[in-house]
Amino acid sequence: MQLQNKIALITGAASGIGEASARLFAKQGARVVVVDLPGPAGEKLVEAIEAEGGTAFFQPADVSRRADNEAMIAACLERYGRLDILFCNAGINLPKLITESSDEEIDRLLDINLKGQIYATRYTIPVMLEQGGGNILITASKTGLVAQRDSPVYCASKGAAVMLAKALALDYATRNIRVNALCPGVIETPMLRAFADARPNPAAAWKEYSESQPIGRLGTPLECAEAALWLVSEAASFITGVALPVDGGFTAM
Ligand code: NAD
């Protein structure tokens, strides 16, 4: 029980890496705020967590909206009285050249992937300072460390996410708030499936993703969740400002 008595809020928790993390954190004793866009997936996940003996509630939010970030933190405090772990994980992809990306697509991506994380941390840090500490984890990507073709706006948002984590880590290092970035490689989630489906030959793209990983396969959401758990747990108590690749060796190439 590595997160006994902890309160964890996870954005983008209804699918993929966020879902695996919500389940794992709950199994490790955390009470979890499942944050995602309105829809049945968040409630279904809460039911699944409760069926496994955990505690959670669903807070619908669009993280691109400042007011939704404020409201999700307020809902967490109202229900559980504190916030120990903020996992800013919601994100979208934009597999397009910069010349093909519309104003709306660029704004939407940056609003979710970057401003969402800025808003969430901005509303969380005063709470953590007041309660004497906390833990923040930001989902960046291997594309925040090394570039990828055909996704320049996405890469830019993930590079910014790495720097947001590092900068916040410095600002609050002496105040008992650790801030780290998780940098998944190519992980088998609905986002990756959509990315492959947007290619001219989705089956060939999927095969290529698997075979191009040094480890010879795709990562799983649970493997990312395990790394996230470690980073937010006491086991990583001297680790802050780190961008941890969980990428089967991709960034070693
Ligand atoms: P996913 O699509 O399975 O899950 C993302 C979740 O975020 C979804 O439930 C979605 O509804 C939610 N979301 C999207 N926009 C939102 C918004 N405006 N407000 C609230 N929730 C919103 O994707 P995933 O692969 O699990 O991705 C999770 C994170 O990991 C993302 O930040 C992504 O960029 C990052 N990532 C994924 C991979 C990969 O290979 N899958 C690699 C590197 C980084």
Write down the pLDDT at residue 198. 84
C-beta separation of 34 from 13 below 8 A:
yes
Residue 54 zone, left/alpha/beta (φ > 0; ψ -120 to 50; rest): beta
Pairing mode, strands 31-36 and 177-184: unpaired
Query: What span, in angstroms and rounded, lies between the C-alpha atoms of 110 and 108?
Result: 6
Counting atoms of ligand 1 from 1, which one is nearest the CA of 13?
Answer: 9
Does residue 80 carry a catalytic annotation? no
Backbone angles phi, psi at 101, to 5 degrees: -90, 130
Distance 97 CA to ligand 1 centre (A): 20
Residue 195: per-residue pLDDT: 86
Query: Does the beta carbon of 37 lie inside 6 Å of ligand 1?
Result: yes
Q: How far is the CA of 16 from the centre of ligand 1 (A)?
A: 7
- Hey, which residues does 57 pair with through a beta bridge? 33
Task: Establish whether residue 240 lines the binding site of ligand 1, counting it when its CB lies within 6 angstroms of any ligand atom.
Answer: no
CB distance 248 to 219 below 8 Å: yes
* Planar angle of CA 246, 252, 253, nearest 5 degrees: 125
Which residues, 6+ apart, have CB-to-CB distance to 66 below 8 Å? 115, 119
pTM: predicted TM-score of the whole model, two decimal places? 0.98
Out of 17, 117, 138, 154, give the residue to mutate to test ligand 1, the one with the largest number of ligand atoms within 8 Å of its CB.
17
> What's residue 15's pLDDT?
98
Structure tokens at 192: 């990756």
**pLDDT by 10s per residue, the chain, length 253:** 999 999 999 999 999 999 999 999 999 999 999 999 999 999 999 999 999 999 999 999 999 999 999 999 999 999 999 999 999 999 999 999 999 999 999 999 999 999 999 999 999 999 999 999 999 999 999 999 999 999 999 999 999 999 999 999 999 999 999 999 999 999 999 999 998 888 889 999 999 999 989 999 999 999 999 999 999 999 999 999 999 999 999 999 9
